Amino acid sequence: MAIAYQALACQANYPEFILSQRYFFNMDICNNPPSPAAMSNKKNFLSINTSLWRFCAAPMLDWSDRHARFFQRLISRHVRLYSEMVTTGALLHGDRARHLDFHPAEHPLALQLGGSDPAQMAACARMGEDWGYDEININVGCPSDRVQNGRFGACLMAEPDLVAACVAAMKAVVRVPVTVKTRLGIDNRDSYEELRAFTAAVAAAGADALIVHARKAWLKGLSPKENREVPPLRPEWVLRLKADFPTLPMVINGGILDLDQARGFLDRLEGVMIGRGIYQNPWLLARVDRDLFGDPRPLPDRHQVLAELIPYLEARMAAGVPLQAMTRHILDLFQGQPGAKRWRRTLSENVHRPGAGIDLVWRAMPPPPAETSVITNLGALDR
């Protein structure tokens, strides 16, 4: 309730900020509002962030779970986060809470669905919206054998009418955006004309945005890892596609490793999505808010982020989550910093031992810079 009252008070004082984002996961804007000069600056994040998808963290199976997303949100206020893929079967017949629960701090957050039955996709999209997700995304990009056997993922590029039917069925039952994440093509069905026909079908069905991994996928002969590296990147196809569909928001994914590369696409596309670049170097997110959204607030500090993460780790451990299920996402937090090797080694070698707890995380943490005062933020879970 306290947070709700704080949000109301904040809306009264800064309505343009609250109304511009339906979630506003933390109340920093109330506690540390931008100066009048920053608010009137044409380059501030209100005027720059004209797209919901300006900068996105890619959905990655077995990696972008709720613990990774909470950690990433502590580094960037503005990055759009995506769940790992959840199949319609898992939601319709399995433990929904296990697959769908998330922390409110994760907003804006999209749910990625894997499936191909329009009625089931619609039911799961409605479920995701009711659970509080801000977007429902259809996976038409994963090339793994397991996904193909379920008739979803990249193999659906061969059935644009079926994907369009899923989009239409989902749009009919939800108000949040319904988006499609796809490849350039599959196997020998990799002409630009086929990609254009696929895009035309999902656009006509009402897709709110298209996220394109700028590589084709080989359904046979390459592993998922090889499919992320072997097929050549063709970002020019995504730009051409945008020219052909100027009103359809488009996001490019694949081969983008830093913010300078990302910025190079943002004058022609609505957004950029990075996956393993973020996971392998999470501090890449530290400059996103300032450099891509014009947010004038100070850059985050690694030690403060870790201090704010501690209450979350404690709460989830109390709920039965093993510490190692969460610390695996933060091993690269101090990459390139003094003490990084000791941090990673201490956690990796000890987190599986009986009795490993939060004291291990504190013990592994490199000494903070002299000018940094690390204070555990016990209110971090209310952000």
**Catalytic residue set:** 142
Residue of 88, 216, 228, 236 whose CA lies nearest to 155:
216
As to burial, measured by CB atoms within 10 angstroms (0-12 exposed, 13-18 middle, 19+ buried), residue 252 is buried
**To 5 degrees, how large is the angle CA 222–CA 224–CA 228?**
95
* Residue 113 bridge partners (DSSP): 86, 138
In sequence order, the β-bridge partners of residue 252 are 212, 272
HSE, CB side, 13 Å, CA atoms: give it for residue 115. 26
Residues paired with residue 56 on neighbouring β-strands, in sequence order: 80, 273
Contacts by 158-162, CB closer than 8 A, 24 or more apart: 158/186, 158/189, 159/116, 160/197, 160/198, 160/201, 160/202, 161/201, 162/116, 162/118
Q: How far apart are CA 51 and CA 343, in angstroms?
A: 37
Within 101-158, residue ranges assigned H as helices are 118-131, 145-149
Number of alpha helices (DSSP H) and beta strands (DSSP E) in the chain: 21, 9
- Where in the chain does DSSP place strands (E)? 55-57, 81-82, 86-87, 109-114, 135-140, 178-182, 209-213, 250-253, 271-274
d(CA 203, CA 347): 47
Residues with Cβ < 8 Å from 320, sequence gap 6 or more? none
Provide the 10 A C-beta neighbour count for residue 138. 28
167 touches 205 (CB < 8 A): yes
